[in-house]
Every structure is written in C-alpha cells, then in structure tokens.
C-alpha cells in the first residue's frame, strides 16, 4: 500500500503541474531555465551546464522553488520578497504575466513579468546572459499601483536553487589588514548567512561573493561550482538554506537589516545586480569567467594597461614637504615608475591635516606645508616623465574642520542628541542628501578642473556607519539611510566617471573595504589591503582573485622590515608577489641602496614587458598557500596561449629534496615553449633547464621541479611559444 500511495502522490503532482513553457536563459556553456506551470507559477527547473536539447524537461517533477519566492503564499523557507501592503496584509503571491527575450550580439536579455494574485503589485525579473563569458546578471524591479505606499521588508536580487548530495561553501572573510581570507565549509541542514551591517567599507570583514561546490569539496580544475557576487557597495545578505530534501536555495541581495523601504504608488524600486556563473571544470574556470566578464563589462577601461604607481603613504605618511616629495619623485622616475601619487596630508589650513585628527572636509592645499601649491608638484612630476595622482576622502569629515562647523546638518548623527561616535577621529557625511552628493562631487570636480594634469585619484573611506541618522530623511524614512547612502555614492561616482573618462580612479577603504563589483563598475582598480607584507599578500591576493581580476588588484612593493608586520623580506620576494597584480611601490626610493635601485629598475622594466600577460591573460591557481606543503604557485596565460608566466613562492623551510612538481594550466599542449627564469637576483637559476624548450603537454602533465628551499623565496618564469629546432 505504501508504494501505491507514493506513486499516487507523484502522478497527482505531475498532473496538476503540467508545464506549458520553458524560459531558457543561456550562455555558451551555462543554462538557467525556468518553467511556467499550468497555474502560471514560474519555477526554476535547471541551472548548470548548457542544455542544447531541453526536450522532456517540461514534464519533469518540480525540484526547486519559485523563481522569486515571496512571503504569504505558503512558502515556509527563506523568501526573496516580504511586503506589507497598503491594507496591512503581508501576503504576496506572484504569478506569471508575460516575458520578453532579445539577443544583441553577445548579450541575451530576458525580462519575466510577475503580478500578485489579488493586488496591483508587480515584480519584474531581469537577466542579462553574457554568452562568451558564461556570466548571468540578475536583478529585480518592484512597483505597484496600490492606493497607498507599501513597505518592503525583504527585496532580494536573486533566488536560485540546486539539488546535490552535498554542498561546500567557499567564502571570504577578514578584518582590516587581513581581508579576503578563504574559508570552505560543508553546509548542513539549516541556514548559513553571510552578511554585513556596516553600511560603508563593507567588504573588510565579509565579501559579497562566494563559490558553492556541488557534491564534493571544491577543486580548482574539476567538479561543479557556482560562483556569485553582488554588485553593491552597501550592506548585503546571502542566505544558503539546505532543507530536508537536500535542496540548497541561495537568496542574495541588499541586507534588509534596518532598511524597511517605503515605496509610493507608481514608483519603482530596483535591486543591485547579482552576478552568477557556473563551471563544471572547478573553481578556476568560474574565476576566469568572472575575470573576463569584469574586464569587458564591469571595470573602467578594462582593456587598457594599468600604469606602475609610486604612492607616498608608507614613504612619508603625514610628514612631508615639497622637497621630500620631489626627492621621492626623482627616485621613482629613475626606477621607471609612471604615476606618482600624493597621499593623505596635503590639505587644510585653519585645521591643517598633519595627522588624522583634523582637516577632513577642508579641501584647500595646505599653504604652510606646500607653499607653492599642487601645480608646483604636478609640473615637477611631469618634467620627470610621470603623471600625478592625489588622495581624497570626500565622504568623510573631522569634527575639527571648517566643514563640520559650517554644515553640522550634513553629518550622519545618532538621533535624540546622542553623543557622536568617532572612528579614526572622523565622521561620515550624509550621502542620502543630494546637497551632500553635490559637495562630494564638487570636491573632486574642482580639484580636477583647477589641476587638469591630475591623472589619478585615490578615493579612500576610513570608517563605517555607526552614527545612524539623517537630518535630510524624514523621521519615517530613516530606514532608507543604508540604501540611499550607497546609492548616493554611486550617483557621485557615475557623474565623475562621465566627466573624467580618462582619469584613473582607485577604490580604497582602509584597504580592502570596497572590493566589490559595485565599486569596480566606476573605478579602475582597488586597494586590496593596507597590509603590504608580501607573505600576508600571498593569502590576500589568493582570495581576492578567486572573484576579482588581477588587473584591478593594486599590489605594492614596500619597505623591509614591513611597516605592518615588521617581517623582513628580500626586495626580489616583494617584487615577485606584487607583480601578480597591478604593480606599484610605496616607499622612499632614497632608502634603497644602489644595488636595490638597480634591481628595482630591472624589475619594473620587466613588469612593463610582462604586464599584458598579467593584466589581460587568464589566471590559473596551482598551489595554494593554505595547503601544508609551504608553497604557493600561480600561472598566467595570454588569450592566444602563446605567452605565459609561472610564479612560485616558498613561504616555509623545505628539506633537501622536499619539493613539489608544479604543473601548469591553460597552455596549448601542441605548442613548444621556451622556459626562462626572469627577475633573478643571482646568476643561478631555480630550474635545471633554464632557457630550454619544453612542450606545453610536458609543462602541464609532468610539471617543473623548482628548487626553492628557503622561506620567503620566489621564482618567476616566462613561458614563450618557440618554434622547435
């Protein structure tokens, strides 16, 4: 009787859920497929490998939840949407109205229109599928024609589901100077939450990204992996729910914490975009998908080489004058640096910026410190064949500033006259206020108009939102602050992007506080961490480049012992680690001896030769610094596969024959390559066959035995296609 009962349930389910239509969102290698049921419900049927022939899928039993699950329709799991309607009811039940699809070159656009069963309440699901990059963007717009405004309590960007035997979640956590640490854990029944509630500088502790491996632990080059990242610089929330049927549902979007949104009739609420990709070839392929997509569609000038920068911060901090800066410029130019960036401390007169306690908000050149102004420095920089860059932090204000005294109402403040909470001796301006947005825009606009030769802007942000409260927003709409402040920043960056298309912008926020696709859309690069210790950077850059491309990852050579950790490392090791991203420097060149200057000159010239491979090529992760063998290794391969780089790092002691064979990835097995060690600090090579010819097949399948024995040693190899003799 039990078997008959089960069959009856299945047959009944199928009969009442006959699927009339499929909505197929596809790239070259990925398919996301929704089905429209007989009762006009839209449910996810498949997300994974591309399905060329979907015949029979429309008859299969429902596995996943609705495309956009809402509260009040019998859904007992996590929901994407929670609404309090104008009559006080909290039930929303969305049904299919229509959908449209169009293909424009590489991008397929899909819109699915949903409507509540009883009310004039609408949700539109948007998808853009990038064929060559195998990336799908999803976002949502919400609008209604109810008589009064509605309250949105949850409003996710995406809801996707999977069915597997096990789920392993890789995510990225940290703190100041320890960003993007990699963690992998098996998901068990229940709900795993990744979120931030900090408002600004949100990626320092949890990054809005993940990788989910299906069935088994994540591998670099095998297995099914889904990678996701939210293009949003504010609070985010990802929920991963594994239910009693071993299904995993992922809901991603803005964190609804303290963010109830009041939506008037006739107005529209749009969520940020969720970026998704699927790989059946492991994590590394998912990373390549995201990197290729970002460089083409979500990074300013992603097709342009990034210059080599010398930033003044660790070389001078606040203690500088024009003489010291020009000395740094002299050394930078001699070594081949292309941009000199003046960091914090150049502004403020009544309240001079000689430390972090004063001056933020008063963006006049400090006349005592720089009596000849910025143009004197800019002209000197250009006379040395370099471009000039400058540091700003226009969202912030010190209480000890003219701005704070003139416009106290522009400052985010705790309500009911509570004492303001300082962090780094500063407060936040209220970017939900259009007047404040104009002020922040004008800070940078006036600077660039007055000094048109400024070619680079480092945009910093050094605190979170703790003084929650806006004098601009009404008492009822204080809960809009987290969202509107982030949107206010986006508005400013968009205006500057439009007006100053050729000016390079770096997103910095106490280091890695703005490492996200939201900021990256309007900037050229990000500062991955204030920790510049090369050993620490192996881990930071390893995690960062799982999601975000190396071309945007600023990595600097600094003094030894390192300012943060006091660790001593060779100049070669510092260069070899920094060359894995956008190479820069952050020291006083006159602190280097003659031998070090000569090494730096050669290393910088070398990077100029290889940077097209680093910045435009594909990254392959070979040996993880997290593993017990004490090595890390990566390689880059050009899109033509004719040129490659292999970078290997030893970070512990290895006994006499304790070495790994490093097997490269991404080469053409049919080609023959010349293997040449570069950036050497001695005549002896770390391999026995330097400058010899080796097939791509051998390099990938047999591998290279590299003689790195000591801690904090490294080697870089250039791999170049060569015709065999």
In SS3 terms, 194-244 reads as EECCCCCCCCCCECCEEEEEECCCCCCCCECEEEEEEECCCCEEEEEEECC
Within this chain, do residues 218 and 86 fall inside the same structural domain, yes or no?
A: yes
Three-state secondary structure call for residue 579? coil
In this structure, are residues 65 and 44 in contact, taking their beta carbons and an 8 Å threshold?
yes
Assign 615 to helix, strand or coil: helix
The reply to whether the predicted model has a pTM over 0.85 is yes
Query: d(Cα 232, Cα 274) in Å, to the nearest integer?
Result: 9
Give the residue carrying structure tokens 């660039």.
448
Residue 685, in any domain of the structure: yes
190 and 279 co-located in one domain: yes
Radius of gyration of the chain (CA): 27
DSSP 587: S
Q: Of 59-68, 108-117, 299-308, which range is least confident?
A: 59-68
The mean pLDDT of 175-203, rounded to a whole number, is 97
- We report the CATH number of the domain holding residue 681 as 2.60.40.1180
Query: How many C-alpha atoms does 613 have within 13 Å on its Cβ side?
Result: 28
Does the annotation count 530 as an active-site position?
yes
User: Per the domain annotation, does 19 fall within a domain?
Assistant: no
More confident residue, 70 or 63: 70
Spatial distance between the Cα atoms of 649 and 559, rounded to a whole number of angstroms: 19
Contacts of 696 (CB under 8 A, 6+ apart): 641, 667, 668, 669, 670, 671, 672, 673
Q: Does the structure show a pLDDT above 70 at 659?
A: yes
352 and 283 within one domain: no
pLDDT tens readout for residues 125-145: 999 999 999 999 999 999 999
Residue 18, pLDDT score: 45
| 343 belongs to the catalytic site | no
Do 585 and 622 contact (CB within 8 A), yes or no?
A: no
Smallest Cα–Cα separation from 527: which of 621, 462, 612? 462
Lowest-confidence range among 402-406, 676-680, 721-725? 721-725
CATH number at residue 357: 3.20.20.70
Residue 275 lies in a domain: yes
- Residue 352 contacts residue 359 (beta carbons within 8 Å): yes
pLDDT band at 12 (very low <50, low <70, confident <90, very high): very low
| 141 and 164 co-located in one domain | yes
pLDDT over threshold 60, residue 8? no
Pairing of the two strands 454-459 and 504-507:
parallel
% of the chain surpassing 90 pLDDT: 91
Task: Output the six-digit token pair for 660.
Answer: 């790994």
- What's the whole-number mean pLDDT along residues 445-467? 97
Whether residue 189 has pLDDT greater than 80: yes
Do 576 and 463 reside in the same domain of the chain? yes
Q: Which of 72, 64, 10, 56 is nearest to 34 (CA)?
A: 64
- List phi, psi (to 5°) of 10: -65, -45
Measured in degrees and rounded to the nearest 5, phi and psi for residue 391 equal -95, 140
pLDDT surpasses 80 at 388: yes
Residue 375, Cβ neighbours under 10 Å: how many? 13
The answer, yes or no, to whether residue 5 has pLDDT greater than 60, is no
Place of tokens 């990595």: 555
Reading the block at residue 159, the tokens are 């809801």
Is residue 97 included in any domain, yes or no? yes
CA dihedral 540, 545, 548, 554 (to 10 degrees): 60
Q: Is residue 59 part of a domain?
A: no
Q: Which of 467, 388, 392 is nearest to 427 (CA)?
A: 467
Give the structural domain span for 134: 71-297
Mean pLDDT of the chain: 94
What's the CA gap between 537 and 180, in Å, rounded?
A: 10
Q: Kindly state the DSSP code that residue 109 receives in the 8-state scheme.
A: E
Is residue 514 scored above 50 in pLDDT?
Answer: yes
- Where does the pLDDT of residue 58 fall: very low under 50, low under 70, confident under 90, or very high at 90 and above? confident
Domain co-membership, 283 together with 215: yes
Exactly one of 530, 531, 533, 618 is catalytic; name it: 530
Residue at a domain's end among 616, 644, 659: 616
CA of 189: how far to CAs of 45, 160, 251, 659, in Å?
Answer: 22, 17, 16, 41
Domain end residue (candidates: 267, 297, 327): 297
287 and 347 part of one domain = no
Reading the block at residue 317, the tokens are: 């901090």
Per-residue model confidence (pLDDT) at position 17: 44
What one-character DSSP code corresponds to residue 78?
-
Mean pLDDT of all residues in 538-544: 98
Q: What is the per-residue pLDDT across 210-254, written as a single tens digit (0 to 9) for each?
A: 999 999 999 999 999 999 999 999 999 999 999 988 999 999 999
| Average pLDDT of the residues in 492-518 | 98
Q: How many other CB atoms are found less than 10 A from the CB of residue 21?
A: 12
Count of CB atoms within 10 A of residue 408's CB? 14
Which pLDDT belongs to residue 76?
72
Q: Is the pLDDT of residue 654 over 90?
A: no
**What integer pLDDT is reported at residue 20 of this predicted model?**
56
Could you list the beta-strand ranges (E) of 370-450: 387-392, 396-397, 427-428
pLDDT at 63: 67
CATH classification at residue 281: 2.70.98.60
SS3 labels along 136-180: EEEEEEEEECCCCCEEEEEECCEEEEEECCCEEEEEEECCCCCCC
In a domain, 62, yes or no: no
Which pLDDT score is estimated for 62? 66
Residue with tokens 């820069």: 584
pLDDT band, very low/low/confident/very high, at 312 (cuts 50, 70, 90): very high
One of 343, 460, 485, 643 is an active-site residue; which one?
460
Judgement on whether residues 371 and 517 belong to the same structural domain of the protein: yes
- Number of domains forming the structure of the chain: 3
Q: Locate tokens 């990699």: which residue?
A: 182
User: Both tokens of residue 75?
Assistant: 């859904």
Neighbours of 450 (CB within 10 A): 12
Q: Are residues 566 and 598 in the same domain?
A: yes
Q: What is the pLDDT of residue 6?
A: 29
Alpha-carbon gap, residue 607 to 575, rounded angstroms:
9
Q: Decide if 490 contacts 428 (C-beta within 8 A).
A: no
Give the integer Cα–Cα distance in Å for 184 and 181: 10
Which of 566, 594, 616 lies at the terminal end of a domain, its last residue?
A: 616
Residue-level pLDDT at 563 = 96
pLDDT category at 2 given cuts 50, 70, 90 is very low
Half-sphere exposure of 340 (CA within 13 A, CB side): 32
Tokens linked to 422 = 């300082």
pLDDT tens-place string over residues 140-170: 999 999 999 999 999 999 999 999 999 999 9
The predicted structure's pLDDT at residue 10: 30
* Cα–Cα distance measured from residue 480 to residue 470, given in angstroms and rounded to the nearest whole number: 10
Burial of 76: CB neighbours in 10 Å, binned 0-12, 13-18, 19+: exposed
Q: Which residues contact 199 (CB under 8 A, 6 or more apart)?
A: 234, 235, 464, 465, 468, 481, 482, 485, 486
In a domain, 497, yes or no: yes
Tell me how crowded residue 692 is: count the other CB atoms within 10 A of its CB.
12
Asked whether residue 119 falls in the same domain as residue 232, the answer is yes
Q: Are residues 413 and 538 in the same domain?
A: yes
Q: Are residues 278 and 413 in the same domain?
A: no
Cβ atoms of 3 and 20 within 8 Å: the answer is no
- Check: CB of residue 377 under 8 Å from CB of residue 390: no
Assigned token pair, 432: 């939900």
Domain-embedded: residue 484: yes
- For the chain, the first-to-last Cα distance in angstroms comes to 77
Q: How confident is the model at residue 655 (pLDDT cuts 50, 70, 90)?
A: confident
Residue 666: count other Cβ atoms within 10 Å of its Cβ: 19
Burial of residue 197, with CB atoms counted within 10 A of its CB: 0-12 exposed, 13-18 middle, 19 or more buried: middle
């Amino acid at each position: 009787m039990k078997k008959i009962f089960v069959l009856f349930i299945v047959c009944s389910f199928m009969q009442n859920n006959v699927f009339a239509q499929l909505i197929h969102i596809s790239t070259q290698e990925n398919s996301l497929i929704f089905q429209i049921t007989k009762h006009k419900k839209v449910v996810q049927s498949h997300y994974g490998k591309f399905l060329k022939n979907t015949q029979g899928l429309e008859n299969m039993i429902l596995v996943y939840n609705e495309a956009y699950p809402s509260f009040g329709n019998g859904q007992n799991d996590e929901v994407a949407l929670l609404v309090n309607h104008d009559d006080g009811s909290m039930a929303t039940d969305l049904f299919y109205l229509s959908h449209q699809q169009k293909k424009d070159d590489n991008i397929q656009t899909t819109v699915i229109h949903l409507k509540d069963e009883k009310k004039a309440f609408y949700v539109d699901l948007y998808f853009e599928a990038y064929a060559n990059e195998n990336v799908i963007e999803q976002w949502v717009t919400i609008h209604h024609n109810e008589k009064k405004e509605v309250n949105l309590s949850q409003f996710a960007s995406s809801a996707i589901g999977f069915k597997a035997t096990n789920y392993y979640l890789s995510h990225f956590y940290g703190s100041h100077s320890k960003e993007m640490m990699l963690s992998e854990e098996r998901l068990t029944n229940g709900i795993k939450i990744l979120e931030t509630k900090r408002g600004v500088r949100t990626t320092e502790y949890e990054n809005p990204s993940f990788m989910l491996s299906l069935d088994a632990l994540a591998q670099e080059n095998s297995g099914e992996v889904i990678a996701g990242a939210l293009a949003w610089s504010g609070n985010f929330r990802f929920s991963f729910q594994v239910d009693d049927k071993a299904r995993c549902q992922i809901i991603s979007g803005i964190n609804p914490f303290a963010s109830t949104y009041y939506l008037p009739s006739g107005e529209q609420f749009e969520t940020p975009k969720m970026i998704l990709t699927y790989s059946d070839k492991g994590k590394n392929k998912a990373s390549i998908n995201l990197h290729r997509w970002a460089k083409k569609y979500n990074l300013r000038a992603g097709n342009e080489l990034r210059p080599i920068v010398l930033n003044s911060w660790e070389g001078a901090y606040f203690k500088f004058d024009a003489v010291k800066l020009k000395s740094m410029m002299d050394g930078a130019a001699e070594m081949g640096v292309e941009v000199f960036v003046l960091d914090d401390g150049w502004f403020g007169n009544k309240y001079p910026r000689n430390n972090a306690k004063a001056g933020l908000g008063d963006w006049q050149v400090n006349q005592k410190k720089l009596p000849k102004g910025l143009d004197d420095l800019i002209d000197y920089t250009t006379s040395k064949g370099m471009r000039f860059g400058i540091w700003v932090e226009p969202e912030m204000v010190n209480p000890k500033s003219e701005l704070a005294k003139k416009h106290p109402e522009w400052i985010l403040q705790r309500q009911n006259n509570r004492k303001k909470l300082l962090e780094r001796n500063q407060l936040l301006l209220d970017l939900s206020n259009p007047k404040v947005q104009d002020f922040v825009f004008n800070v940078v606009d006036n600077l660039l108009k007055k000094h048109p030769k400024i070619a680079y802007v480092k945009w910093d942000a050094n605190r979170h939102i703790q003084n929650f409260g806006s004098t601009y927003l009404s008492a009822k709409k204080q809960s809009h602050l987290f969202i509107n402040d982030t949107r206010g920043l986006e508005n400013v960056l968009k205006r500057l992007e439009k007006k100053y298309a050729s000016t390079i912008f770096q997103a910095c926020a106490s280091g890695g506080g703005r490492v996200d696709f939201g900021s990256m859309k309007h900037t050229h690069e990000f500062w991955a961490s204030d920790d510049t210790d090369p050993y620490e950077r192996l881990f930071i850059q390893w995690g960062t480049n799982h999601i975000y491309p190396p071309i945007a990852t600023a990595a600097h050579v600094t003094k030894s012992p390192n300012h943060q950790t006091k660790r001593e490392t060779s100049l070669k090791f510092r260069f070899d680690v920094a060359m894995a991203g956008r190479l820069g420097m952050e020291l006083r060149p006159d602190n280097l001896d003659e031998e070090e200057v000569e090494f730096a000159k050669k290393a910088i010239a070398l990077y100029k030769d290889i940077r097209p491979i680093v910045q435009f090529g594909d990254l392959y992760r070979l040996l993880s610094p997290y593993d017990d063998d004490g090595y890390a290794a990566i390689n880059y391969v050009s899109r033509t596969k004719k040129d490659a780089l292999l970078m290997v790092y030893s970070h512990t002691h290895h006994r006499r024959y304790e070495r790994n064979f490093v097997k490269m990835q991404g080469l053409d097995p049919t080609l023959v390559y010349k293997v040449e060690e570069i950036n050497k600090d001695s005549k002896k090579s770390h391999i026995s066959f330097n400058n010899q010819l080796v097939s791509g097949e051998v390099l990938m399948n047999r591998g290279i035995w590299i003689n790195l024995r000591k801690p904090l040693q490294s080697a870089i190899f250039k791999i170049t296609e060569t015709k065999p003799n």
